[in-house]
């Protein structure tokens, strides 16, 4: 029988606890972007915003590994809220690119600044070396391919 680690040393347990904490905080602040914004649509909004020249809905479906209808519902919701616009794709006149209008981009930028400040507050008592180590290790984790 494999040796069990206490929860304090279980990476999965600790990440789960932190992600839950961060999600609860995020959900409480989403109204600053738009009162009708839900967490799932927020994630899609961020992906659209972070695509420098816009993004096709089909690309989002691939990125999130979900059915196109799931992205379509999220995009429709974001459009109704005025957070996303469709523009013709200059490379393919039949396709459309999703973009974030300037006003919504400013609200998202302000939101991200607030989240960054919250996270910086969590790390306030950490040394520069501890913060650098955390960033380096999380980056390494994010860049590690999934096992086969």
Task: Let me know: does 38 contact 70? Beta carbons within 8 Å.
Answer: no
Domains and their CATH numbers in the chain: 24-119 (1.10.10.10)
Residue 121, both tokens:
């507050």
Confidence of residue 16 (pLDDT cuts 50, 70, 90): very high
pLDDT digits (tens, 9 = 90+) for 69-117: 999 999 999 999 999 999 998 888 788 999 999 999 999 999 999 999 9
The first and second tokens of residue 65, run together, are 């590994």
pTM of the model: 0.82
pLDDT of residue 90: 86
């Amino acid at each position: 029988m494999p040796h069990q680690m206490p929860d304090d040393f279980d990476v999965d347990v600790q990440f789960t606890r932190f992600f839950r904490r961060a999600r609860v905080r995020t959900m409480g602040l989403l109204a600053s972007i738009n009162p009708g914004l839900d967490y799932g649509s927020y994630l899609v909004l961020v992906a659209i915003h972070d695509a420098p020249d816009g993004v096709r809905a089909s690309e989002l479906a691939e990125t999130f590994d979900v059915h196109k209808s799931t992205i379509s519902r999220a995009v429709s919701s974001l459009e109704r809220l005025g957070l996303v616009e469709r523009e013709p794709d200059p490379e393919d006149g039949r396709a459309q690119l999703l973009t974030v209008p300037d006003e919504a981009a400013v609200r998202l930028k302000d939101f991200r600044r607030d989240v960054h400040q919250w996270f910086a507050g969590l790390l306030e008592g950490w040394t520069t070396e501890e913060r650098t180590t955390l960033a380096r290790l999380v980056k390494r984790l994010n860049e590690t391919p999934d096992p086969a």
